[in-house]
Homo-oligomer: A and B are copies of this chain.
Amino acid sequence: MSKKQTTIQDIAKKLNITASTVSRAMNDHPKISKKTKALVWNTARELNYQPNTIASNLRKGKGNTVGMIVPRINRHFFSNVITGVESVLNPAGYNLIICQSEENYEKEVENVKTLISNRVSGILISLSIETQNIKHLQKIIKSHIPLVMFDRVNEKLNISQVINDDEAGSYEMAIHLLGQGIKDIMWMGGPRSSSIYRNRYNGYKRALEEHNIFAEEMPCFEGSPTLDSALNYMREFLKSGKCPKAIFCTSDYMAMGTIQALYEKGLNVPNDVAVTGYSNEPFAGLISPKLTTVEQFSEEMGRATARLLLDQLLSESDEPVPRKIIIKPKLIVRETTQKRKKNNKFIKNKQEL
């Protein structure tokens, strides 16, 4: 009934043996007799013993938890990456401490500090939009904690990373639009200070240039990749009276805001304007018209990231070779980029993919 948990000492005392023996018995050490092991295991159960991982880790000088820093956990993309990470890390005996930077640089630095203090065995990070300075990441490396970046990475840092081929995904999307005969494609993206939006812009630009169109001459909005941000901007923009034939949004939420603004102006999607998303949010295939977008295989990205970390955790070498995994995204053509023949109806088939 005491407040304390039972320890191996308690078991030892009860059996008139030492803690060492109990410890070894619990770990199924070959030098301990079957009889003693059985005795130990039984009293362990009896006393409701739970090993103290903390103490064990301290003694062994290594832990079983890895830290993960993401901008926001309640984003479909990130929560899926997390699922992927856990699916690899848990079977390998690791726990995950998840931190949110909330797209805030200071908070990200704070998170790093916490994780180092908690002596996590490794850290997985996707940078906040704000992050430019990477002193905190270098601190991780200096502390000899294996570090893997994913999705939003810093290109100056030569460490393992898993990214989407955003350039390619975006290029394909632009080619798809150009293939529809559309020449003026507005850019509506997240801030290009972040690697992913920069790369998406580059893919878009490359596709246009191959058709002798200059991205710089297209209308362009760069801002927070949210529904409201897009909605507000487009409302203003459309007041000018002119409107491009397609709008390339770098997030499904921006696409939703854009479509809404277009609708308010009485414009039809896709017949008047084609609109694209990016990320394939769960709703993308459920709305009407269904949203053309890019699938990023977020769970697979999580698994790859975790595997890269695991490699480093297992190989005891202090200077692992940085590896870079690039995941190919997949263009998902739905309805918002294809002119309709007959009247568009609500949910025709089973959701694609």
Contact = CB atoms under 8 A, between A and B. Distances in A.
* Interface band, chain A: 35 or more
B143 A347 contact: no
A345 B346 CA distance: 11
A96 interface: yes
B83 A100 contact: yes
A243 B54 CA distance: 59
A286 interface: yes
A137 interface: no
A256 B256 CA distance: 19
A194 interface: no
Contacts of A327: none
Given A118-B95, A288-B346, A73 B65 contact: no
The quantity of this chain's copies bound in the complex is 2
A260 B350 CA distance: 8
> Which of A80, A98, A289 has the most CB atoms of chain B within a 10 A radius of its CB?
A98
A281 B284 CA distance: 13
B347 A259 contact: yes
A315 interface: no
A219 to B, nearest CB: 22
A75 to B, nearest CB: 8
Contact of A52 (B48, B117, B345): B117
24 contacts: A5-B143, A5-B144, A48-B139, A48-B142, A48-B143, A50-B143, A52-B58, A54-B119, A55-B58, A65-B118, A73-B79, A73-B82, A74-B79, A74-B80, A75-B79, A79-B79, A95-B114, A96-B97, A96-B98, A97-B97, A263-B345, A263-B348, A281-B283, A283-B283
